[in-house]
C-alpha cells in the first residue's frame, strides 16, 4: 500500500539515523521508498529541507503529493529548500493534491515542534512492523497515512456551476438593453476566465498524478533490474 510516512525525531543525528534505517529497509526489500526528505523545524517556526532524495524521479516533481506534504508541514511561512535537497516546496500548497486529510497534518504538527526534525517519505509497505520497530528504536515517533485516490470531482462541479451561471447571464443579456448588456458581458468575461482557470488546474492535477505514477514505475523497474544484476 502506498503511504505517506513522517517520523519525528528530537535532533538531526537521530533523523539521519532514521533516514539510513529507512533506506536499509528498502535495500532489504521490506519497503519501497519512492521519495524522502529530512525536514528541520526551527525555533522561529520556519522549516528547512536539510537533505532530500535528489536522485529519485518523484522528489523533484512539482505538484506531487510528496511535494505538497513537505509544503504543508512547513506551515504558513513555507519551506526553505537546502542546497542539497531535491524537493521543491512552497508555502502555498494544495491539501487535496497531498491526498491526505488535514487531521494527519494536524497530528504531525503537534509533535513536529520547533527544534525537532522529521524524516518525510512516500513509501510502499505491506506491513508496518519493520518501519515502526526500526524507527522507535532510534527514538522516532511514527505517523503514516495511506494515500487517497486522486479525485477531480471538485473541479468538475465548480466548472459545471459556473457554466450554469454563465448560461443564465447570456440569456439575460439577450433580453437586456444596451447599458445592461455591457455590464453582463463584463461579468460573463470574468466568469469565463474563472472557468478556464479551473480547467487548467484540473489538467495540472491530472498531469501531476500521471507523472507521479510513471515515476513510481521507474523506481520499481530500476530496483528489479538491480536485483536481477545482483543475482546474475
Beta bridge partners of 4: 122, 145
> What pLDDT is stored for residue 21 in this prediction?
96
Cell of 166: 454563465
Digit-by-digit pLDDT tens for the chain (232 residues) are 788 899 999 999 999 999 999 999 998 889 988 888 899 998 887 788 876 654 444 444 444 677 778 878 876 544 444 433 434 444 344 555 666 667 788 888 899 999 999 999 988 888 888 999 999 999 999 998 887 644 555 566 667 777 887 888 888 888 888 888 888 888 889 888 888 887 887 777 777 767 777 777 777 787 778 777 877 7
What integer pLDDT is reported at residue 199 of this predicted model?
82
Report the alpha-carbon distance of residue 71 to residue 109 in Å, rounded.
12
pLDDT score recorded for residue 61:
42
Q: How far apart are CA 8 and CA 113, in angstroms?
A: 9
Q: What are phi and psi of 80, to 5 degrees?
A: -90, 125
- d(Cα 163, Cα 122) in Å, to the nearest integer? 38
d(CA 109, CA 118): 10
pLDDT at 52: 61
d(CA 194, CA 201): 11
**Cα–Cα dist 14/138, whole Å:** 6
For 139, left (φ over 0), alpha (ψ -120 to 50), or beta?
A: left
Q: 27 is written with which cell numbers?
A: 535495500
- pLDDT at position 8 is 96
- The pLDDT of residue 83: 34
Four-point Cα dihedral 19, 22, 26, 29, nearest 10? 160
pLDDT attached to residue 152: 52
Instruction: Provide the pLDDT for residue 14.
Output: 97
- Radius of gyration over alpha carbons of the chain, in Å? 22
Find, among 28, 39, 27, 123, the residue nearest to 74 by Cα.
39
Q: Which residue shows C-alpha cell 524522502?
A: 36
Amino acid at each position: 500500500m502506498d503511504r505517506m510516512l513522517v517520523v519525528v525525531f528530537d535532533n538531526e543525528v537521530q533523523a539521519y539515523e532514521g533516514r539510513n534505517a529507512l533506506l536499509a529497509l528498502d535495500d532489504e526489500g521490506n519497503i519501497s521508498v519512492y521519495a524522502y526528505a529530512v525536514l528541520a523545524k526551527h525555533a522561529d517556526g520556519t522549516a528547512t529541507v536539510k537533505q532530500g532524495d535528489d536522485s529519485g524521479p518523484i522528489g523533484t516533481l512539482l505538484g506531487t503529493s510528496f511535494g505538497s506534504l513537505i509544503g504543508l508541514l512547513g506551515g504558513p511561512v513555507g519551506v526553505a529548500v537546502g542546497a542539497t535537497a531535491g524537493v521543491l516546496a512552497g508555502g502555498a500548497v494544495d491539501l487535496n493534491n497531498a491526498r491526505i486529510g488535514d487531521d494527519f497534518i494536524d497530528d504531525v504538527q503537534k509533535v513536529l515542534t520547533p527544534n525537532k526534525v522529521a524524516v518525510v517519505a512516500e513509501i510502499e509497505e505491506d506491513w508496518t512492523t519493520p518501519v515502526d520497530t526500526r524507527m522507535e528504536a532510534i527514538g522516532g515517533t511514527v505517523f503514516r497515512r495511506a494515500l487517497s485516490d486522486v479525485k477531480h470531482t471538485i473541479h468538475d462541479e465548480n466548472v459545471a456551476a459556473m457554466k450554469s451561471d454563465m448560461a443564465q447571464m447570456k440569456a439575460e443579456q439577450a433580453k437586456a438593453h444596451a447599458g445592461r448588456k455591457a455590464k453582463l458581458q463584463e461579468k460573463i468575461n470574468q466568469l469565463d476566465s474563472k472557468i478556464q482557470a479551473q480547467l487548467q488546474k484540473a489538467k495540472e492535477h491530472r498531469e501531476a498524478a500521471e507523472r507521479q505514477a510513471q515515476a513510481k514505475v521507474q523506481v520499481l523497474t530500476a530496483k528489479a533490474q538491480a536485483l536481477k544484476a545482483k543475482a546474475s
